Structure 1
Amino acid sequence: MKEAKENLSYPKENIKILLLEGIHPKAAENFKKHHFTNVETHDVAWSEEELLNNIEDVQIIGVRSKTQITEKVLKHAKKLKAIGCFCIGTNQVDLDAATLAGVTVFNSPYSNTRSVAELVISESIMLMRRIPLRDKKAHEGVWLKDAKESYEIRGKNIGIIGYGHIGSQVSVLAENMGLNVLYYDIEPKLPMGNATRVESMNDLLKRSDIVTLHVPATSGTEMMMDADKLSQMKKGSILLNLSRGSVVDIKALSEAIKSGHISGAGIDVYPQEPESKGEPFQSELQNLPNVILTPHIGGSTIEAQYNIGVDVSTKLINLIDNGTTVGSHSLPSLNLPVQKNAHRILHIHENKPGVLSEINRCLSDMDINILGQYLKTNEKIGYVVLDVDKHHDDGLLNVLNEVKHTIKARILY
């Protein structure tokens, strides 16, 4: 028999953390503040080959949107415990493979909400005033001082498609600017302020002077703004897409702008985007009148990147320190209390009947007292956290790893 140590069973200075793509320095600072000193940072995305050559000993990896964590990479990353997506999405990670490997995946879905919402409002004003044209002419030395096709946003209708965290934040800012807010979502959502829910997307398109998209990339949203939907928009209206590049048919939008049916657009995301900063970029929307093109920077403010750095690193620290998985996209979500004078064991297994019973039988056979037990499952895996008496048999972990359907088990402290 032995008594467990008070600290983590695996020294924090030996936990290798790899942060890619210029993640805000606050993330590394937060790790080091919590005594994780083995932190390696890089400003660029890594290819699959680079990951395969360098990830074998990594226990935590942090990426943004460009580095792809594939099934092949996950199979090679034998020690990997968690992936931190320092952005709002997780499309860059093979979530199915991560789930089956027992690797926890976190992101930060709300930290850049304000940044995106502010850009939507600012671009709405710029496009309604036709500022891109006047700016271009002023740079060319032409004094285009007139009010032609220049409108206030006050009193106009803004239609928000997708009324989640960003869409609802846009709603609040828009109403404060004097806009009438309409919104459409496939799920019932309560309105913020005086916003009005409409029953169909076509109704919203026909009534809106400004249409802004805030939807995820799914099979249901792919090319949702095609030629037909663009033709349903109010003549002279503007379209904003700061959500996902797959949701707008760019060629159809180009034709709608050229015909004058749509008077302007603000686009931040594209079907194909350069891999890294400085690479060539082409779009059929380039050099069209009253079009603002930005390089996927809707959430790229110093404040947003700082908040994302804090949020994701804190989730990763909580996982390593006490096993908490709140916000995970792969493991079931468990918010765990700190248990003093106990030994914490984490067990990840396939979601099959009888696993918990077998774990409890093993502990009983070894005469180990359970002080706390937490279980959560999803459709694929189960996550059991066991707080046991500090006195335990040396072979406990080996026994738990032999339980049928076990993916991985480890002693946290």
Structure 2
Amino acid sequence: MQVKFFGSQPYDQRSFEAHREDFSSELDISFEFLNAELDKHTVALAEGADAICVFVNAQLDREVLERLVELGVRAVLLRCAGFNNLDLEAADELGLFVARVPAYSPEAVAEHTLALTMTLNRHTHRAFNRVREGNFALDGLLGMTLHGKTVGIVGTGRIGLATAAIFHGLGCRVLGFDPVPAAAFEQYGTAVELDTLLAESDIVSLHCPLFQSTHHLINADSLQKMKSGAMLINTSRGGLIDTPAVIEALKSHQLGALAIDVYEQEAPLFFADRSADFIDDDLFVRLMTFPNVLITGHQGFFTREALSEIADTTLKNLADFAAGRDCPHRLSSIN
């Protein structure tokens, strides 16, 4: 069975090759790792594959899925949790097996959320550069003590719970909002309505999936409901934030600071070295001009443990497909 990996990086190859031996008794597989991201222009590269493996920014609309089937592909393996770029109904109609990795080291993303919060709050990134230049002045580096502050967690799934546990441990008052409240959240904080969370939180951290109902959850209206000068952190999905509205809130000082590890139009930018080129995205470039904005390139998941879990679960999904077994991580529009 041949598996072609789209949008792959050297660390993907190392991780999957390291786990290949664990499945040698179940799977006779060959891997091909492609740097190209999957879309209608690159789908022809899937020819000869029995299965393809893709990450968060792959385009899996009906047109691409139909072409995959024409090329002989029978399984689509998502090495991520999100599937907002996937047309599930089309996949079902075409008889494609589709499976994802529903959770991989939620603590990794939660810890990156803390890292972004601490860096942005205490200006450690700016202080590092100052000291290297011999500048030991403290003006402009003033932060706030997190102990006793209110942190709002939007989405109390596994990552949200892990984030809530961290901030609770720091002595913060933790509020949480989720349409389906998690009972486990009660040990860390108080479940409230979204408007209450926005109004009372000094820090708002997003940890929810991207659906039609959550697209631009943070918009001009919700930003006005936030406590003036609050900090917004997004390590979830870029589409949760209306970027032009956030820029206006930063300009008016309604939003005090922003840290993002994801961006709505990240696909043409992230996961590649573009330092020798210009960034042809005016909104992204505008964001980078703010001294109170911190951006990382979708690295929240990027730990050894998470990569290992992704490879292991993806290959388990492939083994279930090859054996015709029920797969607990299979996606279907009729589930």
Same fold (TM over 0.5): yes
Residue range with higher mean Cα deviation, 281-290 or 169-178? 281-290
Within 5 Å, which residues of 2 pair with 1:14-413?
15-22=1-8, 23-31=12-20, 33-34=24-25, 35-52=27-44, 54-76=45-67, 77-78=69-70, 79-145=72-138, 149-190=142-183, 191-198=185-192, 200-275=193-268, 277-279=272-274, 280-281=278-279, 282=281, 283=284, 284-330=286-332, 378=334
Shift of 1:85: 0.6
Shift of 1:120: 0.8
State the secondary structure of the residue aligned to 2:300.
coil
- In 2, distance between residues paired with 1:156 and 1:61? 46
Cα pair 1:124 1:153 within 8 Å, conserved: no
Residue range with higher mean Cα deviation, 62-71 or 182-191? 62-71
Report the residue type matching 1:26 in the other structure.
S
- In 2, distance between residues paired with 1:205 and 1:66? 29
Cα pair 1:125 1:152 within 8 Å, conserved: no
Shift of 1:327: 1.1
- In 2, distance between residues paired with 1:241 and 1:309? 25
State the secondary structure of the residue aligned to 1:39.
strand
State the secondary structure of the residue aligned to 2:4.
strand
Cα pair 1:254 1:285 within 8 Å, conserved: yes
State the secondary structure of the residue aligned to 1:110.
coil
**Number of residue pairs the alignment of both structures matches:** 317
Q: 1:223/1:74 Cα in 2 relative to 1: closer, same or farther (>3 Å)?
A: closer
Report the residue type matching 1:193 in the other structure.
Q
Report the residue type matching 2:173 in the other structure.
N
Cα pair 2:6 2:54 within 8 Å, conserved: yes
Shift of 1:146: 5.7
- In 1, distance between residues paired with 2:250 and 2:129? 18
Cα pair 1:24 1:305 within 8 Å, conserved: no
Cα pair 2:36 2:42 within 8 Å, conserved: no
Cα distance per residue 1:371-409 (max 9 Å; x no partner) = xxxxxxx37xxxxxxxxxxxxxxxxxxxxxxxxxxxxxx
Q: How high is the TM-score relative to the length of structure 1?
A: 0.71
Cα pair 1:106 1:327 within 8 Å, conserved: yes
Q: 1:148/1:317 Cα in 2 relative to 1: closer, same or farther (>3 Å)?
A: closer
- In 2, distance between residues paired with 1:30 and 1:96? 31
**Stretches of structure 2 lacking an aligned partner (at least 5 in a row):** none
Report the residue type matching 1:63 in the other structure.
V
Report the residue type matching 1:196 in the other structure.
T
Counterpart of 1:365? none
Q: How high is the TM-score relative to the length of structure 2?
A: 0.86
Cα distance per residue 1:185-236 (max 9 Å; x no partner) = 12232124231111x2121111111100112222222222112211222222
- In 2, distance between residues paired with 1:148 and 1:40? 48
Shift of 1:61: 1.0
Q: 1:137/1:233 Cα in 2 relative to 1: closer, same or farther (>3 Å)?
A: farther
Q: 1:256/1:274 Cα in 2 relative to 1: closer, same or farther (>3 Å)?
A: same
Q: 1:219/1:92 Cα in 2 relative to 1: closer, same or farther (>3 Å)?
A: closer
- In 2, distance between residues paired with 1:253 and 1:70? 29
Shift of 1:136: 4.4
- In 1, distance between residues paired with 2:174 and 2:299? 24
- In 2, distance between residues paired with 1:131 and 1:84? 39
Report the residue type matching 1:313 in the other structure.
L
- In 2, distance between residues paired with 1:209 and 1:49? 44
- In 2, distance between residues paired with 1:156 and 1:128? 12
Cα distance per residue 1:329-351 (max 9 Å; x no partner) = 128xxxxxxxxxxxxxxxxxxxx
State the secondary structure of the residue aligned to 1:83.
strand
Q: Which has the higher helix share?
A: 2
Cα pair 1:168 1:192 within 8 Å, conserved: no
Q: Which has the higher strand share?
A: 1
Cα distance per residue 1:352-385 (max 9 Å; x no partner) = xxxxxxxxxxxxxxxxxxxxxxxxxx37xxxxxx
Cα pair 1:131 1:290 within 8 Å, conserved: no
Q: 1:312/1:227 Cα in 2 relative to 1: closer, same or farther (>3 Å)?
A: same
State the secondary structure of the residue aligned to 1:48.
coil
- In 1, distance between residues paired with 2:124 and 2:254? 19
Shift of 1:25: 3.1
Q: Rg bigger for which structure?
A: 1
Cα pair 1:112 1:308 within 8 Å, conserved: no
What's the % identity of the aligned pairs? 27
State the secondary structure of the residue aligned to 1:211.
strand
Counterpart of 1:410? none
- In 1, distance between residues paired with 2:147 and 2:332? 44
